[in-house]
Chain A
Amino acid sequence: MIPQQSGRIINISSVEGKVGKPGLSSYVVAKHAVNGLTKSAAKEVGPLGITVNALCPGVIETDIVKEGGAGAAAAMGLTYDELLAQFAADSAIKRINEVEDVANVAVLLASDAGAGITGSLISIDGGTSPY
């Protein structure tokens, strides 16, 4: 992208890149790190027509969440259903997010209209994160 002086990098981070649930420390650490990398890289390539952003979804019942969720929940002292309910309760919409919520913002960022958005950590979490 640097030689072509144009491009879009979209990192799928997580609400856990901003907040920090107990029992998920390695995931929280990794997602905080991705958020930092996003900011740093954005500053490096900002004048080159390349944007770098992170999307921070709340929990979505993806295949990986369905497969590994019970184990993660147990690490947090919860059942799988209790885990999802806790994420929903922390949001303003009181339900969990959907893949389309992330995709819709990704389309905007990827388009020419997204040229002015970079280094951003965009919450797609139904109002969970306060920043």
Chain B
Amino acid sequence: MGKLDGKVACITGGTRSIGRAMADAFLSEGAMVVVNGRDPAKGAACLQEMGAGDRAAFFPGDSSKQDVVEGLVDFTIEKFGRLDICCLNSGGVQATAPVFQMTDEEWELEVDWNLNHVFWGMRRALQHMIPRQSGRIIVTSSVEGKLGKPGLPGYVATKHAVNGLVKSAAHEVGTLGITVNAILPGIIETDIVRETGPASAQAMGVGSYEALIDLFCSESSIKRPNKVEEVAAVAVLMASDAAKNMTGCLFPVDGGTLPY
């Protein structure tokens, strides 16, 4: 008997890293899962590796685009007849820079990818969940939603913003059987962190990718990066019936980085 038997989930950025760990964990608890990603080849490989047969599906597209995020929700409902768990997980930076050097293009990308994506997905999912008086919205935020590293102004601003959106939405639907929560991971060496980390390190003035990782680790108590499985375990809890009273929660998985 899995904790998520019969539940249907969709996950933006679900083919790798944190989203993939969530997908694997949800599937092992009996859920059906639609994962989204930009690359159809990675999507196909992901479905193969997950080996969940007709309990898993892939929806392609760039989650910084409104039609993709809304389309993911619609596709999931059409394929599996319902949506119980909406994980708004993808996000990151492409070419971050300090405020005075930040380009409009990068700022707008980060606002679309980290903030608007969450709003679009949340709105579409709630429109389905509110009449059914049941559902779970889980947002992958970050310690940077409470802290504020230099050189990451768009990421910090958008993660602060999604934390606020989670609190506000949680209060709106609190009596409707729907919970809205965020998970705040510390540094995890995801594919996106590895790909964009060297450039981000320069923008943050820390010199190298290794120094960037060391900086985040030094601020934690455990002195190591967090792991995708640690985030996925919290997502399973939030998604389950057992967490019916957990909402508006900004749940840290950060090895002791955040003081509040």
Contact = CB atoms under 8 A, between A and B. Distances in A.
A127 B175 contact: no
Contacts of B146: 131
Given A91-B174, A113-B229, A126-B174, A46 B249 contact: no
B233 A124 contact: no
Interface in B225-260: 226-227, 229-230, 233-234, 237, 240, 242-243, 245-260
A117 B230 contact: yes
B170 interface: yes
In the complex, the 7 A-B pairs of residues with the closest C-beta atoms, listed nearest first: A46-B221, A127-B248, A92-B174, A119-B256, A113-B233, A116-B230, A118-B256
Contacts of B170: 92, 127
Interface string A7-42: 000000000001000000000000000000001001
A3 interface: no
A93 B247 contact: yes
A100 B241 CA distance: 11
Interface in B122-168: 146, 167
A66 B23 CA distance: 42
A108 B237 CA distance: 8
Nearest to A39: B259
Interface of B: 146, 167, 170-171, 173-175, 186, 220-223, 226-227, 229-230, 233-234, 237, 240, 242-243, 245-260
Interface of A: 18, 39, 42-43, 45-47, 51, 91-95, 97-98, 100-101, 104-105, 108, 111, 113-124, 126-128, 130-131
A127 B167 contact: yes
B233 A46 contact: no
A98 B170 CA distance: 19
Contacts of A43: 221, 256
Contact of B246 (A95, A101, A130): A101
B253 A116 contact: yes
Give the most central of A42, A101, A118: most B CB within 10 Å: A118
A126 B255 contact: no
Given A101-B246, A123-B250, 8 more contacts: A45-B221, A46-B222, A92-B175, A92-B248, A95-B245, A116-B186, A116-B227, A116-B254
Contacts of B256: 39, 42-43, 46, 51, 118-120
Contact of B234 (A18, A45, A108): A108
Contacts of A128: 248
A93 B258 contact: no
Contact of A122 (B167, B173, B249): B249
B221 A124 contact: no
Nearest to A115: B230
Contact of A92 (B171, B220, B221): B171
Contacts of A120: 251-252, 254, 256, 258
A105 B249 CA distance: 12
Contacts of A126: 174, 245-248
Contact of B221 (A42, A91, A113): A42
